[in-house]
Structure 1
């Protein structure tokens, strides 16, 4: 069975949702027969390359909140991340264009190192003092993930490299009705939206495996939407 996950490195619920999915998958009896593929979804495709803004300021502007209220929203997300055993910094993070990251992830997929690079990028963005919105950092992460430095540098230098693959993923997301991430598709038959609890993912996998007709989802599942906004249940 194949599970495809549409996500963006700038999305905290994708970071958290991946951890929850992995816990749900670990509890699935047929986990060794599941192939996981990560697909591209840009939250803010119109953001100019190289232009970054502090996450807290972006949230305040998006939701019409004060900076202090936006910090509170970040603390809520951080608490959810920490509950999954993830490190999450609430200060000093930036938000920007992620197209180059997605292009590199397609290179990594072609070389069998996609999840390694994705995990490193999530960690750099949410847990460490490293920005993922500049080519120098991305190149370091690519090498840490096991990619050839010269090949990764060539991809970063050529804006057309893997660009079509990123756009194809995004078109597929639209065709599948995905307008927020994370979005999980099981065998191209069932969809699960948002950073669901681990047990929901386990149940979804079991139902997809059995070929049943529906997959339950939580009405309060946390997602990130295009333009970079990441909803916090009860606070959006």
Structure 2
């Protein structure tokens, strides 16, 4: 018996970065973890953004939220603290924001090669923890694909063909809408249970346990004020 967990996420989503770490913490302690199949699905926070339309994260935040730059920086600082609590590096200054469509296409290619999770981790780390931007830089993406164990020339063929895996990305996004995902990360377990947002590991433990032992129509577990990112932006943690 295998439990299938589908995770809709975007590389530009800080809560997806944090949520993946929290889910994996729960999965590592789950007694049936060797019988859990994890599949990463595509969700673009900014699907209409052109490839060359890149701007600083703080600029994007001020426009989406109507906040001051100081407020946006405070939110980034708090996100950095949330990431650090999960053992994740997070650059709170100087990051860029742009289109993630090509990254999602590469992730579908990586899935076919059995390297999807490895590439996703490298993309998250590159975007949130490293200085060089991942946006509109094919050579950067190809280096990451190679580091994930993919053939660099084959990955280049994917990137240079705008139609390669494009339908797979769009289909993921259509399915997310059909399942009621209003933001990401969005976790669906055996198409029976849904968890929205970067919930604490304990919530993921509950979801894994319930999904393992039961089958039912999709039930959303704890959607109240979860930390997530949607088309209008990401929830910004406030200082306590």
Match of 2:234 in 1: 230
Match of 1:110 in 2: 112
Do the aligned residues in 2 keep the contact of 1:16 with 1:81 (CA within 8 Å)?
yes
Match of 2:210 in 1: 207
Partner-residue secondary structure (3-state), 1:137: helix
Map 1:93-104 → 2, pairs under 5 A: 93-104=95-106
Map 1:159-198 → 2, pairs under 5 A: 159-198=162-201
Q: Could you give the per-residue CA deviations for residues 163-190 of structure 1, whole angstroms, max 9, x where no partner exists?
A: 0110110110011011200000000111
TM-score (normalised: structure 2) = 0.94
In structure 2, distance between residues paired with 1:234 and 1:84: 18
In structure 1, distance between residues paired with 2:221 and 2:169: 29
- Report the aligned-residue RMSD: 1.4
In structure 2, distance between residues paired with 1:164 and 1:216: 30
Match of 1:58 in 2: 60
Map 1:62-73 → 2, pairs under 5 A: 62-73=64-75
Partner-residue secondary structure (3-state), 2:229: coil
In structure 1, distance between residues paired with 2:133 and 2:190: 34
Unaligned residue ranges in structure 1 (runs of 5+): none
In structure 2, distance between residues paired with 1:74 and 1:168: 31
Q: Could you give the per-residue CA deviations for residues 15-61 of structure 1, whole angstroms, max 9, x where no partner exists?
A: 00000000011121111110000000000011111210100111111
In the TM superposition, structure 1's runs of 4+ consecutive aligned residues that sit over 6 Å from their partners are: none
Do the aligned residues in 1 keep the contact of 2:75 with 2:238 (CA within 8 Å)?
no
Do the aligned residues in 2 keep the contact of 1:7 with 1:183 (CA within 8 Å)?
yes
Q: Could you give the per-residue CA deviations for residues 85-139 of structure 1, whole angstroms, max 9, x where no partner exists?
A: 1000011111101000000000000000000100000000001112111211101
In structure 1, distance between residues paired with 2:166 and 2:98: 17
Unaligned residue ranges in structure 2 (runs of 5+): none
Task: Give the drift of 1:232.
Answer: 2.1
Does residue 36 of structure 2 align to residue 31 of structure 1? no
In structure 2, distance between residues paired with 1:55 and 1:215: 31
Q: Could you give the per-residue CA deviations for residues 50-91 of structure 1, whole angstroms, max 9, x where no partner exists?
A: 210100111111111111110001111111100001000011
Aligned residues: 234
Do the aligned residues in 1 keep the contact of 2:78 with 2:238 (CA within 8 Å)?
no
Task: Give the drift of 1:157.
Answer: 0.4
In structure 2, distance between residues paired with 1:205 and 1:215: 13
Do the aligned residues in 2 keep the contact of 1:49 with 1:96 (CA within 8 Å)?
yes
Partner-residue secondary structure (3-state), 2:170: helix
In structure 2, distance between residues paired with 1:49 and 1:60: 21
In structure 1, distance between residues paired with 2:238 and 2:115: 38
Match of 1:81 in 2: 83
